[in-house]
């Protein structure tokens, strides 16, 4: 099937589906991402935060920070990982049946998940924080983090969402453009954008005077100083333009001498060498190829993704040591140029207390020394003994609970469409709902095939063919769909299309090697599966054999006009039975309503009653096929009976029940009320047996217009 035919088949099936289908995924998946993330983050906080709830507000801030850290750290991890998880899950969705942009869906889901994690992080950060964090400052802090403090994570998330699945000229241009954008943000462009949106502004004259005093001591003047809103008390140096950045929270908690000491620390970073500045850009740049893992894996294999991950992790580990040395050097410079003894230590303790950051943290790869060690190095004795590190078990438990919750939700989302179809078999509404939720092509094709069967059982042959054609076009790995399509097309007498569908099924379903004694013999092939055999039989019967409708006569009726053929030479003219016939018509007409009725005649035990082996001579016969495989439907004065010759000497002779026979003739009268005499036919063609198709019926036959058979 060509790409154009595939697109046309899917578009034709889409017209038969409800219009709300694409909206369910466009609105429902981001909503699911939001509420699932909110639930996961809430459970993580519930697991990691209980010790803080029991801690009195009068406790030392170092103890409160230690107890608050597991929940806060888990919230930050969830804010980073869970949106990426939903974003990646959306990118794996292949929604061929719906015209939905995967990239847009991924971005919407990522934003919804991030918003939920952001709300949860805000609620976690408020616990134990004095004074309480406001929504406005939380929003300002988030924007400043994305644009100024951690732009590499923001750019990486955008890359994951917008990059196509393979590398080409366009994707290369996008990737290079995002790298340039990251370098722009890192080198000070983030402050420029923050000023444009009103998030950043130049510092006040009073703060500027304090900065100038610190610059005079350090003999290094910054070119600009800005203040940005946010929840954290923090300062940042932009060495490329020699800018300083302070958060409004920092300016709130520090006095003049403490601000000069922090400024001296940041100005030490302004004096770093060019090699150090380039080294600071490397880890962020190395993260971006890892964010391009989809095209990287598709074009170069998963080993390329693994190599990018190893390089990123190794570079982060290596450069963390450099960053730590730079921080220790900046601490030494701040202690040297502080305006008063102990002012730098007091400033550090106030910043850590305002941010509720633990004085001692676990791990070796941290870029900053522990606050406790920095205070001791500054010659200050902390108020309490060295506290233990925060509980890693509670942090890990919170993260694992949140990951497990999201994983369970995604697994349920993956299984729900199939389960819903299995819970309500044959329910078209349930199948349509499942199809709207299905996120991969294989499941969609499976559901379309079930919709086709529902339409087929309801008598809508055209709709069944449309759905099965779409299923065959979407899943090109299975031969069952085109095989079933061939059967349906054959029953609709679209024989050329049925033959093409059968060829497709044969191509997709090559015979399996023949197994003999547990050994597969590849030189010989075993038989094809049942779907292929059924399709072959249906295509072989399509358009034929010709069906003859006879006016049957006894020997007395035929008289001298009867000239026996080869099959009838052995008959005794004195015996009652089939002794001659006139051919009333030969037709190839097929109609689904008659097909279902005759299928009942042959397949439904309740449609046949009693033995008709010794019944009265028939007066009308419908013959299909030749020789021992012939099928006859016969009508006599005692009722309508069926004779099936199955290849042996014995035939099956059964009468139709009165109800089934009445349905047969009523259907004839209903569909052809103005039938002309001697222009009737019952066409018997196969579907899992045989199929009945009508032409006008008139029970009064005299054979005067027939030709001798």
- What are the 10-residue block averages of pLDDT along the chain, 709 residues in total? 80 86 87 95 89 74 88 92 89 74 85 94 83 84 89 87 82 90 90 90 92 87 89 90 92 92 92 86 89 86 89 87 89 89 91 90 77 87 87 91 94 88 87 85 89 88 91 86 90 85 84 51 50 77 48 44 44 41 35 51 51 45 44 50 43 56 61 38 30 31 32
469 plus 555 within the same structural domain: no
Contacts of 241 (CB under 8 A, 6+ apart): 187, 188, 223, 224
pLDDT at 606: 54
Q: Do 13 and 467 touch, CB atoms closer than 8 A?
A: yes
Q: Which residues contact 73 (CB under 8 A, 6 or more apart)?
A: 390, 395
Q: Is residue 634 assigned to a domain?
A: yes
Domain that holds residue 258: 166-355
Residues 200 and 336 grouped into a single domain = yes
Tokens of 685: 């063609």
19 three-state secondary structure: coil
Q: Which two tokens stand for residue 162?
A: 């917008």
Domain boundary among 537, 562, 589: 537
- The neighbour count for residue 148, using CB atoms within 10 Å, is 25
Alpha carbon distance 686, 667 (integer Å) = 19
612 and 522 fall within a common domain: no
Nearest to 203 by CA among 240, 137, 248: 248
Token reading at 96: 């061929």
With 0-12 CB in 10 A as exposed, 13-18 as middle and 19+ as buried, what is 672? Answer: middle
CA 285 to mean position of chain CA atoms: 30
Among the candidates 312, 327, 355, a domain finishes at 355
pLDDT confidence of residue 604? 54
Residue 390 lies in a domain: no
**Domain identity same for 641 and 669:** yes
Q: pLDDT value at position 52?
A: 67
Residues with Cβ within 8 Å of 325's Cβ and at least 6 positions away in sequence, in order, are none
578 in the same domain as 506:
no
On whether both 621 and 472 belong to a single domain, the answer is no
Give the domain-ending residue among 324, 355, 386.
Answer: 355
My answer on whether omega of the bond before 638 falls inside 30° of 0, hence cis, is: no
Number of domains within the chain: 3
What CATH number did the domain enclosing 475 receive?
1.25.40.10
pTM listed for this prediction: 0.70
* Nearest alpha-carbon partner for 349 in 365, 330, 372: 372
CA 185 to chain CA centroid, nearest Å: 34
Does residue 351 share a domain with residue 256? yes
Distance, in Å, from the CA atom of 361 to the CA atom of 548, rounded to the nearest integer, reads 92
Pair 297, 340 in one domain: yes
Measured at the CA of 22, the angle between CA 21 and CA 24, to 5 degrees, comes to: 70
Same domain, 218 and 338: yes
DSSP state of 188: I
Q: Please indicate, yes or no, if residue 140 is contained in any of the structural domains.
A: no
> Residue 9 domain-assigned?
no
At 67-84, the pLDDT tens digits run 889 999 999 999 989 998
What is the C-alpha to C-alpha distance for residues 221 and 9, in angstroms, rounded to an integer? Answer: 70
149 domain-assigned? no
Q: What is the pLDDT of residue 619?
A: 42
Same domain, 498 and 520: yes
- Residue 555 inside a domain? The answer is yes
pLDDT at position 560: 45
Specify if 128 maps to a domain: no
E strand or H helix that includes residue 328 = helix 302-337
Query: CA geometry: angle at 332 spanning 327 and 338, to 5°?
Result: 115
* Domain co-membership, 630 together with 518: no
Residues 576 and 687 reside in one and the same domain: yes
């Amino acid at each position: 099937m060509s790409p154009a035919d595939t697109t046309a088949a899917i578009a034709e099936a889409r017209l038969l589906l409800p219009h709300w289908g694409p909206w369910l995924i466009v609105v429902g998946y981001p909503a699911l991402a939001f509420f699932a993330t909110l639930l996961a983050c809430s459970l993580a906080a519930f697991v990691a935060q209980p010790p803080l709830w029991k801690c009195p507000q009068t406790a030392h801030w170092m103890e409160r920070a230690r107890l608050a850290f597991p929940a806060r750290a888990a919230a930050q991890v969830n804010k980073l990982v869970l949106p990426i998880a939903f974003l990646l899950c959306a990118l794996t969705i292949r929604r061929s049946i719906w015209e939905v942009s995967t990239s847009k869906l991924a971005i919407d889901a990522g934003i919804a998940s991030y918003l939920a994690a952001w709300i949860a992080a805000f609620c976690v950060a408020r616990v134990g924080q004095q004074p309480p964090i406001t929504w406005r400052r939380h929003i300002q802090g988030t924007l400043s983090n994305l644009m100024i403090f951690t732009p590499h994570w923001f750019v990486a998330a955008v890359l994951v969402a917008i990059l196509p699945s393979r590398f080409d000229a366009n994707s290369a241009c996008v990737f290079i453009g995002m790298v340039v954008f990251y370098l722009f943000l890192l080198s000070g462009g983030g402050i420029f954008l923050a000023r444009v949106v009103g998030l950043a502004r130049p510092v006040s004259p009073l703060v500027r005077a304090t900065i100038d005093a610190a610059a005079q001591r350090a003999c290094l003047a910054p070119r600009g100083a800005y203040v940005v809103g946010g929840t954290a008390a923090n300062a940042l140096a932009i060495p490329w333009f020699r800018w300083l950045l302070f958060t409004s929270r920092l300016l709130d908690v520090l006095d003049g001498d403490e601000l000069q000491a922090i400024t001296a620390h940041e100005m030490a970073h302004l004096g770093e060498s060019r090699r150090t500045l380039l080294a600071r850009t490397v880890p962020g740049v190395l993260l971006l190829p890892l964010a391009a893992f989809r095209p990287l894996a598709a074009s170069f294999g998963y080993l390329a993704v693994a190599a990018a991950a190893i390089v990123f992790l190794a570079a982060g580990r290596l450069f963390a040591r450099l960053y730590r040395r730079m921080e220790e050097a900046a601490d030494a410079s701040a202690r040297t140029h502080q305006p008063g003894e102990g002012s730098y230590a007091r400033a550090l303790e106030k910043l850590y207390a305002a941010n509720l950051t633990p004085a001692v943290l676990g791990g070796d790869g941290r870029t900053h020394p522990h606050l406790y060690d920095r205070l001791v190095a500054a010659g200050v004795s902390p108020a309490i003994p060295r506290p233990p590190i925060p509980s890693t078990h509670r942090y890990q438990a919170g993260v694992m609970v949140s990951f497990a919750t999201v994983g369970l939700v995604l697994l349920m989302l993956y299984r729900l469409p199939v389960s819903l179809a299995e819970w309500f078999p044959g329910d078209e509404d349930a199948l349509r709902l499942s199809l709207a939720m299905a996120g991969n092509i294989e499941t969609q094709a499976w559901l379309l095939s079930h919709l086709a069967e529902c339409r087929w059982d309801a008598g809508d042959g055209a709709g069944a063919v449309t759905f099965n054609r779409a299923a065959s076009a979407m899943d090109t790995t299975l031969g069952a769909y085109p095989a079933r399509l061939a059967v349906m097309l054959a029953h609709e007498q679209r024989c050329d299309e049925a033959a093409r569908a059968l060829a497709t099924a044969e191509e997709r379903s090559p015979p399996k090697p023949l197994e003999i004694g547990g050994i597969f013999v590849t030189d010989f092939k075993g038989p094809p599966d049942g779907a292929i055999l059924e399709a072959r039989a249906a295509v072989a019967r399509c358009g034929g054999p010709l069906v003859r409708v006879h006016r049957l006569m006894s020997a007395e009726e035929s008289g001298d006009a009867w000239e026996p053929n080869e099959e009838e030479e052995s008959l005794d003219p004195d015996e009652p039975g089939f002794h001659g016939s006139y051919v009333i018509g030969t037709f190839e007409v097929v109609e689904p309503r008659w097909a279902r009725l005759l299928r009942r005649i042959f397949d439904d035990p309740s449609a046949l009653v009693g033995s008709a082996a010794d019944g009265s001579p028939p007066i009308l016969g419908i013959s299909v096929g030749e020789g021992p495989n012939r099928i006859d439907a016969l009508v006599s004065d005692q009722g309508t009976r069926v004779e099936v010759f199955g290849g042996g000497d014995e035939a099956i002779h059964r009468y139709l029940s009165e109800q089934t026979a009445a349905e047969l003739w009523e259907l004839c009268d209903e569909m052809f009320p103005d039938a002309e005499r001697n222009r009737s036919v019952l066409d018997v063609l196969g579907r899992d047996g045989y199929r009945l198709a009508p032409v006008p019926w008139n029970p009064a036959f005299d054979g005067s217009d027939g030709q001798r058979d």
